[in-house]
Structure 1
Amino acid sequence: MKHPRLWRMNHLFFLLALLAIIFAACAPPAAAPTAGEQPAAPAAAGLPPEPGRGTDGELVLVYWQEVSILNPYLASGTKDFHGASLILDPLLEFNENVELVPVLAEEVPTLENGGVSEDLMSITYKLRPGILWSDGTPLTAEDVVFTWEYCADPATGCTVQNFVGVASVEALDELTVRVNFTDPTPYPYTAFVGYLSPIIQKAQFQNCKGEAAQACSEQNTNPIGTGPYKVAEFRANDTVVYAVNENYRNPNQPHFARVIIKGAEDASASARAVLETGEADYGWNLQVEPAVLLDMEAKGKGTIMSAFGANVERILINFTNPDPNLGEKRSLWTPEDPNPHPFLTDINVRKALSMAIDRNIIAEQLYGPGGKPTCNLLAGPPAVASTNNDACLQQDIEGANKLLDEAGYLDSNGDGIRETPDGVPLRILYQTSTNAVRQKTQALIQQWWKQIGVETELKNVEAAVFFGGDPASPDTYNKFYADVEMFTNGPDNPDPQQYLANWLCDGGANIPSPANNWGGSNVERWCSEEYDALFAQLRTATGEERNRLAIALNDMLVQNYVAIPLVFRASVSAYSNTLSGPNISGFETEEWNIETWHRVR
């Protein structure tokens, strides 16, 4: 819906600024507030006049979703991508103005500079000369080629969609790499672009492709990188300690000698650590009711900032049967046996569940100006935000009950729970991560679904586990051992192609299963040849036709109730008043420029 905006504000302006974001969707990006608008910050004692490499001591970031793995290609949770981004670099990334900027590449390849071929079949990158890995060895084009080979191996279980449509990657010389596409590709900035698609070192990972990927513990928790930091200590689902990468390309950066990412009980605890107690310098993803955040900020120790990208809180529908009595077949889809859910494969049930929800109440009561009710999974940028689904904004309990009656789902024994025509009760296990706002959302929806004869059991899982992606855990969202589940997701690229690729079936290759270490991104297990064919058209389309196809793909997902959108969310974080540098980009990690962060002087 909107390009990302950076807002740094004191507690008097936070509410008004977020309201302005929502009601001024087409406004140009706002300029950053001047220093005079910031709360007075005490200068840090004992620091040199200007920040240099390692001059500013320790930086503490607190995440209520603890980091589980530092290999982004095997990660499932956003917090893991964030943790890895301090170590691993892509060729290009997006800055706070949603502009592509070079990182490991010398420049952004374009048609004009010859980097993108005239037939749109390839893009060629020149690597910056002299880039070293943290172990002192040089970065080469072979590392880029290997990164693609690693993720392209189906048995690796790669969790990202950046390489869809890539036919091959080849090293033209030591510092030149060409990405070749299967079809003309008008938007070539997906492979090796952004935090989901960094370069990994061939020498470290060459024995970790395919089935060996999950077993490479050292590589997955202590990757060698080209970023500003390297791992000093890693404790899964607890704490990561980083030290300066002495071989980082800018000799004056990073400014903090040590960075710690540690966990917290929940989002409120993360916020308190920054805004009230001063125990931490930065708190990420503060999914906390606005009034509570404003009260914390009033203590004067920290500042709230936010940005709208395209994140949507949604309910995912499991199209397979999660019955534990199925053993190894639980939530397992195969081409030979789609293992259909006993009632959620019926669009009438999915539609009724959506109709019963009052998105306005959820947004107003639990998100305030930081959330807006939505009927779209692809909520932005504005050019691809559909207006065809707005009927969902009106709750319709009566209509939902009528729909279920007509579809033959009746309460035959008077216990308040409908049954399928063959007698299966409409009982739903509804899971999400542990978080006060999410548990309140669950409670509201549980009440509304009860009004349409659906009994709902609520389950919440510790965030580090839910988003952890451990193939051995039964509680990850990839395993989907529930009927429905809820979390936030959204595009990591202003172009919609990469995001919409998440629902490709590809013959089942993109559906989580033991064959891909539960790493596929089509978590709902929804297969549609029509969707796959329309996506193929999107890949080669340009201009208004590209936007039209993106809207059509969103509408196909929404109108088939593959997932049920709830709230278009802002990313809300907080930083200490002694810290300078945080600058949210709606399509990158919030630490995308962490090498520039420093203490206020």
Structure 2
Amino acid sequence: MFFMFLVLAACGNGSGDAIYSIEDFSENASTEGEAIDGGTLNYGLVTDTTFEGTLNYNFYSGSFDNEIIKWFDESLLSVDKNHKYTQDGAATFEVSEDHRTFTFTIRDHVNWHDGEPVKAEDWAYAIEVIGHPDYDGPRYDSSFRNIEGMEEYHNGDADSISGLEVVDEKTLKITYIEGTPSLLAGGIWPYALPKHVFKDIPVADMSASDAVRKNPIGFGPFKVESVVPGESVSMTANEDYWQGPPKLDGVTVKVVNPQTIVQALKSGDVDTVDSFPTDQYADVETELTNVEFLGTVDMSYSYIGFKLGTWDKKAQEVKPNPDAKMADVNLRRAMWYAVDNEAVAKQFYNGLRWNANTLIPPSHPDYHDSSIEAPTYDPEKAKQILDEAGYLDTNNDGMRENPDGEELIINFASMSGGGDIAEPLTNYYIQAWKEVGLNVQLLDGRLIELNSFYDKIGQNGDDAPEVDMYQGAWSVATDVDPSSLYGRQAIFNFSRYASEENDRLLEEGTSEKAFDPEYRKKVYSEWQQLMVDEIPVFPTLYRSKLVPINKRVVNYSIGADFMGLHEVGVTQEKPFKAE
């Protein structure tokens, strides 16, 4: 235990007992003043690795790519603070009485960056590509299978999707098999794909094409001018943007290492970043006099996942393995009791992350069930569970064998990219499990680069057999429905967990009855409890999102309903520098 204390203390931030609350931060920049005509905003991606560079909503999987795309492309549908679709976006919509048919109308003057109008066929084409048998991206899930005729098209039994109807150049009609409350909260695919650009590219080749990697286009407020693969993207203003010309001349998005982010902000090398490392905030809040910190409850959580099966590429669904090394829920439960996430939250993050109890985070307050009692730090309880389950140290080497008396080595995959604390945090977890007699070893003896990490745990459907468990993080969808992460047919279900009760609850959460908010809340409370009981993964920390913004920047917000990137401006040509 003394060693674990040293590991935690080694990553202490030097700020004593300072504990912060996300409630003390605003989502909106307070800088006042008139924006000058023009200027370039420098936007940082805080990571010690490269970004993947899949710069299209249909194909990307990494959050850094999404941070780039949002500057030059956007959803056709806007959302409010509760993530519900509104009528204020580039398209409006009408819904049939049975909630199954949506009719969308794209506004006039919504044009691609090459001048071609964004058409209903572009929207339909985006959906067709995702449903195509040769599609190699991560988007195809239950929300797409809910479109009438999609399964037949996806299986190659139909040449078109019966539930898609291009009524005219600006009108698209989509009919769903079942009308669900999820449709109005993220369950509709709201992104178009320029058919005139992609129509001659085979679907299997699209994600690697120049149209995605080198010369991506959208209809957002800025246009991509150049891409330095993995490092930066330069953009210029889209004077033809449907909401009006941007105030800025351009935006440069570039990778900034977590170890140098503070200096980059001090010097004005970047005006803002995608998210500031919360573990560094306590050390620098008084130093960064030239920025204002915005903050909100992040739509994400960190977690520990256990490999319980594989992905069946042919069936496109999870294939559970009852003989998996981590198949015993008692082993998984003991590992949850063995770690002190509350201490991690305070020592590493000064309260800007906090202990998590369920897989629906507090960013969805209507559904997050804080009353559910999940395992919290109790190493003696962990040892008791392991003893009773037959995990005993039969050869007196200090490490437990499995119930068959065989050596138990658990291979743990963890990624780099978390700054200075990534390695010590991983070491803490390994040591905590060692303290209860479990021999957990870091896979390959090192942290894995982000893109390689997600390949290993199965984002392409190939599960590396040497991985027994892993440490990951999820950004959750705007809709509370967790089926895209934990459903039987979700490729992002990296633990490869499936059960009939999980299937039932996920189905009930998007059923006709779930239009009743209280019924839906009850279903997802039951689902959260099921995950605490079954433990395919366990959440470790909920997260704050902190975003520093140079005090020359006006009209900037990190609110969920913010759609004003074209209004963002600067009050002077050069950024303010720290005093």
Counterpart residue type for residue 153 of structure 1: H
2:240 matches 1:218? no
In 2, Cα distance between equivalents of 1:33 and 1:398: 47
Residues 427-466 of structure 1 correspond to what in structure 2 (within 5 A)?
A: 427-435=410-418, 436-458=420-442, 459-463=446-450, 465-466=452-453
The correspondence for 2:401, drawn from 408, 419, 425, is 419
2:256 matches 1:264? yes
Pairwise CA distance, 1:32: 5.3
Corresponding residue pairs, total: 526
DSSP 3-state at the match of 1:199: coil
Structure 2 regions of 5+ residues with no counterpart? 1-17, 149-162, 573-579
Superposed CA offset, 1:442-499 (max 9, x none): 22211210012212223323345546xxxxx658766554322223223231x312x3
DSSP 3-state at the match of 1:486: strand
DSSP 3-state at the match of 2:260: helix
Pairwise CA distance, 1:567: 0.9
Q: 1:188 to 1:299 in 2, by over 3 A?
A: closer
In 1, Cα distance between equivalents of 2:304 and 2:561: 22
CA contact under 8 A between 2:35 and 2:570: conserved in structure 1?
A: no
DSSP 3-state at the match of 2:543: strand
CA contact under 8 A between 1:192 and 1:199: conserved in structure 2?
A: no
**Range with bigger deviation, 198-207 or 88-97:** 88-97
2:504 matches 1:533? yes
Counterpart residue type for residue 39 of structure 2: D
2:372 matches 1:389? yes
Give the corresponding residue for 1:171. Answer: 166
In 1, Cα distance between equivalents of 2:504 and 2:234: 45
The correspondence for 1:159, drawn from 138, 143, 153, is 138
In 2, Cα distance between equivalents of 1:372 and 1:336: 31
Pairwise CA distance, 1:575: 1.4
The correspondence for 2:530, drawn from 543, 546, 556, is 556
In 1, Cα distance between equivalents of 2:316 and 2:196: 35
Counterpart residue type for residue 528 of structure 2: N
Give the corresponding residue for 2:359. Answer: 377
DSSP 3-state at the match of 1:273: helix
Superposed CA offset, 1:173-192 (max 9, x none): 21111221111223422568
CA contact under 8 A between 1:192 and 1:198: conserved in structure 2?
A: no
Pairwise CA distance, 1:502: 1.9
The correspondence for 1:91, drawn from 73, 76, 79, is 76
CA contact under 8 A between 1:87 and 1:225: conserved in structure 2?
A: yes
Pairwise CA distance, 1:560: 1.1
Counterpart residue type for residue 225 of structure 1: G
2:40 matches 1:57? yes
Give the corresponding residue for 2:340. Answer: 358
Pairwise CA distance, 1:16: 8.2
DSSP 3-state at the match of 1:172: strand
CA contact under 8 A between 1:116 and 1:122: conserved in structure 2?
A: yes
Counterpart residue type for residue 454 of structure 1: L
CA contact under 8 A between 1:230 and 1:242: conserved in structure 2?
A: yes
Give the corresponding residue for 2:90. Answer: 105
Give the corresponding residue for 1:489. Answer: 474
Give the corresponding residue for 2:160. Answer: none
DSSP 3-state at the match of 1:83: helix
Superposed CA offset, 1:123-153 (max 9, x none): 2111101211111111111011111111122
DSSP 3-state at the match of 1:177: strand
Give the corresponding residue for 2:21. Answer: 18
In 1, Cα distance between equivalents of 2:440 and 2:166: 54
The correspondence for 1:144, drawn from 103, 123, 127, is 123
2:310 matches 1:310? no
Give the corresponding residue for 1:5. Answer: none
The correspondence for 2:223, drawn from 217, 220, 230, is 230
In 2, Cα distance between equivalents of 1:214 and 1:300: 42
Give the corresponding residue for 1:289. Answer: 279
Q: 1:302 to 1:528 in 2, by over 3 A?
A: same
Counterpart residue type for residue 505 of structure 1: R
CA contact under 8 A between 2:20 and 2:352: conserved in structure 1?
A: no
In 2, Cα distance between equivalents of 1:373 and 1:362: 8
CA contact under 8 A between 2:27 and 2:295: conserved in structure 1?
A: no
Give the corresponding residue for 2:543. Answer: 569
In 2, Cα distance between equivalents of 1:552 and 1:209: 43
Q: What's the Cα RMSD here?
A: 3.2
Q: 1:437 to 1:259 in 2, by over 3 A?
A: same
Superposed CA offset, 1:534-559 (max 9, x none): 22221121210011112222222232
DSSP 3-state at the match of 2:432: helix
**TM-score where L is the length of structure 1:** 0.79
CA contact under 8 A between 1:428 and 1:454: conserved in structure 2?
A: no
In 2, Cα distance between equivalents of 1:186 and 1:200: 25
Q: 1:89 to 1:337 in 2, by over 3 A?
A: closer
CA contact under 8 A between 2:295 and 2:544: conserved in structure 1?
A: yes
Give the corresponding residue for 2:485. Answer: 502
Pairwise CA distance, 1:156: 1.1
CA contact under 8 A between 1:67 and 1:240: conserved in structure 2?
A: no
Superposed CA offset, 1:420-445 (max 9, x none): 23414132323123322333322221
CA contact under 8 A between 1:228 and 1:595: conserved in structure 2?
A: yes
CA contact under 8 A between 2:41 and 2:250: conserved in structure 1?
A: yes
DSSP 3-state at the match of 1:94: coil
In 2, Cα distance between equivalents of 1:278 and 1:398: 50
Superposed CA offset, 1:144-172 (max 9, x none): 11111111225313323553523223212
Q: 1:336 to 1:598 in 2, by over 3 A?
A: closer
Give the corresponding residue for 1:596. Answer: 567
Pairwise CA distance, 1:302: 1.4
Pairwise CA distance, 1:333: 10
In 1, Cα distance between equivalents of 2:215 and 2:507: 37
Counterpart residue type for residue 233 of structure 1: S
Counterpart residue type for residue 393 of structure 2: D
Q: 1:230 to 1:149 in 2, by over 3 A?
A: same
Counterpart residue type for residue 399 of structure 2: I
Superposed CA offset, 1:236-255 (max 9, x none): 322122222343224431x2
**Range with bigger deviation, 237-246 or 443-452:** 237-246
CA contact under 8 A between 1:121 and 1:183: conserved in structure 2?
A: yes
Pairwise CA distance, 1:351: 0.9
Counterpart residue type for residue 94 of structure 1: V
Q: 1:191 to 1:314 in 2, by over 3 A?
A: closer
Structure 1 regions of 5+ residues with no counterpart? 1-14, 22-28, 37-42, 44-48, 110-114, 322-328, 468-472, 511-519
CA contact under 8 A between 2:83 and 2:186: conserved in structure 1?
A: no
Q: 1:71 to 1:336 in 2, by over 3 A?
A: closer
2:46 matches 1:82? no
Counterpart residue type for residue 572 of structure 1: L
Superposed CA offset, 1:210-260 (max 9, x none): 43334424334432211112222223322122222343224431x222322
In 2, Cα distance between equivalents of 1:164 and 1:443: 41
In 2, Cα distance between equivalents of 1:103 and 1:220: 30
Q: 1:449 to 1:208 in 2, by over 3 A?
A: farther
